[in-house]
Structure 1
Amino acid sequence: MRTPRGIGRTIAAAAVPLLLLTACAGEQTTKVAASDAVGDWQAPGGERITLSKDRTFVSHDLGKKSDHCAAGRNSGTRGFFVDDGDSGAAVSHKAASGDRIGLSFASDDSQEFSCFVDLAVVDGGKSLCETTDPDDPCSVGVKLTREK
Protein backbone atom coordinates (compact mmCIF):
# COMPACT_ATOMS: atom_id res chain seq x y z
CA MET A 1 0.00 0.00 0.00
CA ARG A 2 1.38 3.42 -0.95
CA THR A 3 0.97 6.52 1.14
CA PRO A 4 0.07 9.76 -0.54
CA ARG A 5 3.05 12.04 -1.22
CA GLY A 6 1.81 14.77 1.10
CA ILE A 7 1.66 12.45 4.12
CA GLY A 8 5.25 11.26 3.63
CA ARG A 9 6.50 14.83 3.37
CA THR A 10 4.51 15.84 6.44
CA ILE A 11 6.00 12.99 8.46
CA ALA A 12 9.51 13.88 7.28
CA ALA A 13 8.97 17.58 8.08
CA ALA A 14 7.83 16.66 11.60
CA ALA A 15 10.75 14.27 12.16
CA VAL A 16 13.55 16.68 11.20
CA PRO A 17 13.04 19.10 14.14
CA LEU A 18 12.84 16.14 16.53
CA LEU A 19 16.15 14.78 15.21
CA LEU A 20 17.79 18.18 15.57
CA LEU A 21 16.47 18.53 19.11
CA THR A 22 17.86 15.09 19.96
CA ALA A 23 21.25 15.94 18.43
CA CYS A 24 21.52 19.11 20.51
CA ALA A 25 20.17 17.60 23.72
CA GLY A 26 23.68 16.73 24.98
CA GLU A 27 24.76 20.33 24.57
CA GLN A 28 22.31 21.96 26.96
CA THR A 29 23.95 23.68 29.90
CA THR A 30 23.42 22.45 33.46
CA LYS A 31 23.66 24.53 36.63
CA VAL A 32 26.06 23.02 39.19
CA ALA A 33 27.34 23.99 42.63
CA ALA A 34 30.86 25.43 42.82
CA SER A 35 32.04 22.33 44.71
CA ASP A 36 30.80 20.07 41.88
CA ALA A 37 33.18 21.72 39.40
CA VAL A 38 36.28 21.11 41.56
CA GLY A 39 38.60 18.43 40.23
CA ASP A 40 40.69 17.29 37.28
CA TRP A 41 39.20 17.41 33.77
CA GLN A 42 40.67 16.19 30.47
CA ALA A 43 39.71 16.29 26.77
CA PRO A 44 40.60 13.66 24.14
CA GLY A 45 42.93 16.17 22.45
CA GLY A 46 45.12 16.40 25.58
CA GLU A 47 43.69 19.64 26.99
CA ARG A 48 43.51 19.47 30.79
CA ILE A 49 42.37 21.63 33.67
CA THR A 50 42.38 21.34 37.44
CA LEU A 51 39.72 23.46 39.13
CA SER A 52 40.58 24.10 42.78
CA LYS A 53 38.30 24.79 45.73
CA ASP A 54 39.82 28.28 46.17
CA ARG A 55 38.51 29.21 42.69
CA THR A 56 41.86 29.05 40.96
CA PHE A 57 42.86 26.70 38.17
CA VAL A 58 45.85 25.24 36.37
CA SER A 59 45.41 24.21 32.74
CA HIS A 60 47.36 22.69 29.88
CA ASP A 61 46.64 23.70 26.26
CA LEU A 62 43.17 25.04 27.08
CA GLY A 63 42.21 27.99 24.87
CA LYS A 64 44.65 27.20 22.07
CA LYS A 65 41.98 26.06 19.57
CA SER A 66 40.09 29.34 19.83
CA ASP A 67 43.34 31.34 19.57
CA HIS A 68 42.68 32.93 22.94
CA CYS A 69 45.58 31.59 24.96
CA ALA A 70 49.08 30.33 24.53
CA ALA A 71 49.61 26.58 24.42
CA GLY A 72 51.17 24.90 27.40
CA ARG A 73 50.65 25.37 31.12
CA ASN A 74 48.57 28.32 32.31
CA SER A 75 46.90 29.32 35.56
CA GLY A 76 44.53 31.92 36.93
CA THR A 77 41.20 32.44 38.62
CA ARG A 78 37.70 31.22 37.83
CA GLY A 79 34.10 32.08 38.58
CA PHE A 80 30.57 31.50 37.37
CA PHE A 81 28.90 33.86 34.94
CA VAL A 82 26.03 35.77 36.57
CA ASP A 83 23.59 38.37 35.28
CA ASP A 84 25.17 41.76 35.97
CA GLY A 85 21.86 43.61 35.69
CA ASP A 86 23.13 45.94 32.97
CA SER A 87 24.38 44.55 29.71
CA GLY A 88 24.49 40.83 30.27
CA ALA A 89 26.78 38.54 32.20
CA ALA A 90 29.87 39.03 34.33
CA VAL A 91 32.16 36.54 36.06
CA SER A 92 31.59 36.33 39.81
CA HIS A 93 34.25 34.76 41.98
CA LYS A 94 31.66 34.45 44.78
CA ALA A 95 28.71 32.83 42.96
CA ALA A 96 27.73 29.54 44.59
CA SER A 97 26.52 27.94 41.36
CA GLY A 98 26.18 28.40 37.61
CA ASP A 99 26.16 26.77 34.20
CA ARG A 100 29.10 28.67 32.65
CA ILE A 101 32.57 29.11 34.10
CA GLY A 102 34.79 32.03 33.17
CA LEU A 103 38.54 31.46 33.35
CA SER A 104 40.88 34.45 33.67
CA PHE A 105 44.43 33.45 32.77
CA ALA A 106 47.19 35.30 34.62
CA SER A 107 49.84 37.07 32.56
CA ASP A 108 53.55 36.95 33.27
CA ASP A 109 53.42 40.00 35.54
CA SER A 110 50.42 38.53 37.46
CA GLN A 111 48.77 41.97 37.58
CA GLU A 112 46.66 41.58 34.46
CA PHE A 113 45.07 38.73 32.59
CA SER A 114 46.43 37.55 29.28
CA CYS A 115 43.31 35.76 28.03
CA PHE A 116 39.85 34.54 28.99
CA VAL A 117 38.15 31.20 28.29
CA ASP A 118 34.52 30.25 28.83
CA LEU A 119 33.52 26.73 29.82
CA ALA A 120 29.91 25.60 29.58
CA VAL A 121 28.73 22.88 31.98
CA VAL A 122 26.96 20.20 29.89
CA ASP A 123 25.85 16.57 30.05
CA GLY A 124 24.17 17.04 33.44
CA GLY A 125 27.42 18.35 34.93
CA LYS A 126 29.57 15.49 33.65
CA SER A 127 31.40 17.56 31.01
CA LEU A 128 32.81 21.03 30.45
CA CYS A 129 32.91 22.48 26.92
CA GLU A 130 35.13 25.32 25.79
CA THR A 131 32.91 27.82 24.03
CA THR A 132 33.02 31.18 22.29
CA ASP A 133 29.29 31.29 21.55
CA PRO A 134 26.61 31.61 24.27
CA ASP A 135 24.13 29.84 21.98
CA ASP A 136 26.45 26.88 21.25
CA PRO A 137 27.93 25.46 24.48
CA CYS A 138 30.50 23.30 22.65
CA SER A 139 31.39 25.71 19.83
CA VAL A 140 35.16 25.22 20.06
CA GLY A 141 35.10 21.43 19.98
CA VAL A 142 36.96 20.88 23.25
CA LYS A 143 34.93 18.74 25.65
CA LEU A 144 36.50 17.89 28.98
CA THR A 145 35.35 15.09 31.26
CA ARG A 146 36.37 14.37 34.82
CA GLU A 147 39.56 12.32 35.07
CA LYS A 148 39.16 8.98 36.72
Structure 2
Amino acid sequence: MSRKFAMLLPFLALLVSAAGCSSHGYPQDIRQSDLLGVWAGPHGSRIDFLADHRVKATGFDFEGSPANGCSAADSGGKWAFYEAVDPSSGDYDMSMSATHGDSLSVIFGKLSESGSCYFSLDAMRKDENVRLCVTADPDSPCDGGVEFARKSDLAG
Protein backbone atom coordinates (compact mmCIF):
# COMPACT_ATOMS: atom_id res chain seq x y z
CA MET A 1 0.00 0.00 0.00
CA SER A 2 1.41 3.40 -0.93
CA ARG A 3 1.97 5.98 1.77
CA LYS A 4 -0.36 8.48 0.04
CA PHE A 5 -3.17 5.92 -0.06
CA ALA A 6 -2.63 5.02 3.61
CA MET A 7 -2.95 8.71 4.53
CA LEU A 8 -6.22 8.97 2.61
CA LEU A 9 -7.87 5.95 4.30
CA PRO A 10 -9.26 7.84 7.32
CA PHE A 11 -10.67 10.55 5.05
CA LEU A 12 -12.28 7.96 2.74
CA ALA A 13 -13.82 6.13 5.71
CA LEU A 14 -15.32 9.40 6.92
CA LEU A 15 -16.82 10.09 3.49
CA VAL A 16 -18.35 6.61 3.27
CA SER A 17 -19.89 6.82 6.75
CA ALA A 18 -21.28 10.32 6.12
CA ALA A 19 -22.93 9.20 2.88
CA GLY A 20 -25.26 6.88 4.83
CA CYS A 21 -26.59 9.61 7.11
CA SER A 22 -28.42 12.83 6.41
CA SER A 23 -29.04 15.72 8.78
CA HIS A 24 -32.31 13.91 9.60
CA GLY A 25 -30.52 10.84 10.98
CA TYR A 26 -30.55 7.19 9.99
CA PRO A 27 -33.51 5.14 8.66
CA GLN A 28 -35.17 3.33 11.56
CA ASP A 29 -37.39 0.28 11.26
CA ILE A 30 -40.27 0.77 13.70
CA ARG A 31 -43.02 -1.55 14.87
CA GLN A 32 -46.69 -0.61 14.60
CA SER A 33 -46.82 -0.35 18.40
CA ASP A 34 -44.04 2.28 18.25
CA LEU A 35 -45.95 4.29 15.65
CA LEU A 36 -49.36 4.39 17.33
CA GLY A 37 -50.13 7.59 19.18
CA VAL A 38 -49.70 11.32 18.76
CA TRP A 39 -46.89 12.95 16.75
CA ALA A 40 -46.41 16.74 16.71
CA GLY A 41 -45.00 18.79 13.85
CA PRO A 42 -44.28 22.43 13.08
CA HIS A 43 -46.77 25.27 13.65
CA GLY A 44 -49.02 23.21 15.94
CA SER A 45 -49.59 20.42 13.41
CA ARG A 46 -50.47 17.02 14.81
CA ILE A 47 -50.98 13.54 13.44
CA ASP A 48 -52.59 10.66 15.37
CA PHE A 49 -51.95 7.07 14.24
CA LEU A 50 -54.63 4.59 15.36
CA ALA A 51 -54.40 0.78 15.57
CA ASP A 52 -57.14 0.26 12.96
CA HIS A 53 -54.98 2.12 10.37
CA ARG A 54 -56.99 5.30 10.65
CA VAL A 55 -55.10 8.57 10.94
CA LYS A 56 -56.29 11.96 12.13
CA ALA A 57 -54.41 15.19 11.54
CA THR A 58 -54.69 18.91 12.13
CA GLY A 59 -52.70 21.93 11.07
CA PHE A 60 -51.39 20.61 7.74
CA ASP A 61 -50.29 23.77 5.97
CA PHE A 62 -46.68 23.21 4.97
CA GLU A 63 -45.59 25.48 2.11
CA GLY A 64 -43.50 23.55 -0.40
CA SER A 65 -44.20 20.14 1.14
CA PRO A 66 -46.17 17.22 -0.34
CA ALA A 67 -48.45 17.62 2.70
CA ASN A 68 -49.21 21.28 1.87
CA GLY A 69 -52.84 22.11 1.21
CA CYS A 70 -54.08 18.79 2.51
CA SER A 71 -57.55 20.04 3.39
CA ALA A 72 -58.89 16.48 3.69
CA ALA A 73 -56.53 15.83 6.63
CA ASP A 74 -59.01 17.20 9.16
CA SER A 75 -61.57 14.58 8.12
CA GLY A 76 -59.16 11.71 8.70
CA GLY A 77 -57.55 9.13 6.50
CA LYS A 78 -55.62 5.85 6.40
CA TRP A 79 -52.01 4.85 6.99
CA ALA A 80 -49.96 1.74 6.13
CA PHE A 81 -46.34 0.65 6.12
CA TYR A 82 -44.72 0.00 2.77
CA GLU A 83 -43.87 -3.63 2.00
CA ALA A 84 -41.79 -5.11 -0.82
CA VAL A 85 -44.03 -6.31 -3.66
CA ASP A 86 -41.13 -7.67 -5.69
CA PRO A 87 -37.85 -7.61 -3.73
CA SER A 88 -35.80 -8.27 -6.86
CA SER A 89 -37.07 -5.09 -8.53
CA GLY A 90 -37.24 -2.93 -5.41
CA ASP A 91 -40.98 -2.25 -5.86
CA TYR A 92 -42.91 -1.37 -2.70
CA ASP A 93 -46.60 -0.80 -2.03
CA MET A 94 -48.84 0.01 0.92
CA SER A 95 -49.65 -3.04 3.03
CA MET A 96 -52.37 -3.01 5.68
CA SER A 97 -50.93 -6.29 7.00
CA ALA A 98 -47.34 -5.05 7.44
CA THR A 99 -46.54 -4.62 11.14
CA HIS A 100 -43.26 -2.70 10.84
CA GLY A 101 -41.15 -0.68 8.46
CA ASP A 102 -39.02 2.42 8.02
CA SER A 103 -41.45 4.10 5.62
CA LEU A 104 -45.22 4.46 5.54
CA SER A 105 -47.86 6.14 3.44
CA VAL A 106 -50.68 8.39 4.56
CA ILE A 107 -53.79 9.06 2.47
CA PHE A 108 -56.43 11.66 3.33
CA GLY A 109 -59.68 11.65 1.36
CA LYS A 110 -60.25 9.81 -1.89
CA LEU A 111 -57.42 10.49 -4.30
CA SER A 112 -59.87 11.33 -7.07
CA GLU A 113 -61.47 14.14 -5.03
CA SER A 114 -60.39 17.75 -4.64
CA GLY A 115 -58.57 18.43 -1.36
CA SER A 116 -57.32 14.87 -1.02
CA CYS A 117 -53.64 14.14 -0.58
CA TYR A 118 -51.13 11.35 -0.30
CA PHE A 119 -47.61 11.47 1.07
CA SER A 120 -44.94 9.24 2.59
CA LEU A 121 -43.31 9.46 5.99
CA ASP A 122 -39.86 8.06 6.72
CA ALA A 123 -38.90 6.97 10.23
CA MET A 124 -35.45 8.35 11.04
CA ARG A 125 -33.37 7.93 14.21
CA LYS A 126 -31.48 11.02 15.29
CA ASP A 127 -29.68 10.84 18.63
CA GLU A 128 -32.02 8.82 20.87
CA ASN A 129 -35.24 9.90 19.16
CA VAL A 130 -37.23 8.64 16.21
CA ARG A 131 -38.76 11.29 13.96
CA LEU A 132 -41.20 10.94 11.09
CA CYS A 133 -40.42 13.17 8.15
CA VAL A 134 -42.43 13.92 5.03
CA THR A 135 -40.87 12.47 1.88
CA ALA A 136 -41.78 13.21 -1.73
CA ASP A 137 -39.11 11.10 -3.46
CA PRO A 138 -38.41 7.59 -2.07
CA ASP A 139 -34.76 7.97 -3.10
CA SER A 140 -34.40 11.19 -1.04
CA PRO A 141 -35.61 10.57 2.52
CA CYS A 142 -37.01 13.59 4.33
CA ASP A 143 -37.00 15.85 1.28
CA GLY A 144 -40.42 17.28 2.21
CA GLY A 145 -38.98 19.60 4.85
CA VAL A 146 -41.44 18.62 7.61
CA GLU A 147 -40.68 16.48 10.69
CA PHE A 148 -42.92 15.03 13.41
CA ALA A 149 -41.80 14.04 16.91
CA ARG A 150 -43.62 11.50 19.08
CA LYS A 151 -45.66 13.11 21.85
CA SER A 152 -47.67 10.28 23.44
CA ASP A 153 -48.71 6.67 23.15
CA LEU A 154 -52.41 7.46 23.22
CA ALA A 155 -54.07 9.04 20.22
CA GLY A 156 -57.21 10.96 20.80
TM-score over 0.5 for the pair: yes
1:126 match: 130
Whole-angstrom CA distance in 2 between matches of 1:117 and 1:63: 14
Structure 2 CA distance for partners of 1:13 and 1:137, relative to 1, 3 Å: same
* Contact 2:24 2:142 (C-alpha < 8 Å) held by counterparts: no
Deviations 1:79-135, CA, capped at 9 Å, x for gaps: 0001111671100011011110111112499x9992211000111762100111223
Give yes or no for the alignment of 1:136 onto 2:140: yes
Radius of gyration: which is bigger?
Answer: 1
Alignment of 1:1-148 (within 5 A): 14=12, 17=15, 20-21=18-19, 24=22, 26-62=24-60, 64-65=62-63, 66-68=65-67, 69-71=69-71, 73-85=74-86, 88-107=91-110, 114-123=116-125, 126-147=130-151
- Relative to the length of structure 1, the TM-score reads 0.74
Alignment RMSD: 3.5
- Relative to the length of structure 2, the TM-score reads 0.71
Point out where structure 1 has 5 or more consecutive residues left out of the alignment: 1-5
Deviations 1:12-58, CA, capped at 9 Å, x for gaps: 96487268448627432111111110010011333210001111100
Structure 2 CA distance for partners of 1:112 and 1:144, relative to 1, 3 Å: same
Whole-angstrom CA distance in 1 between matches of 2:15 and 2:148: 28
Deviations 1:52-86, CA, capped at 9 Å, x for gaps: 11111001234744255424624111100011116
Runs of 4 or more off by more than 3 Å in structure 1?
A: 9-16, 18-23, 61-65
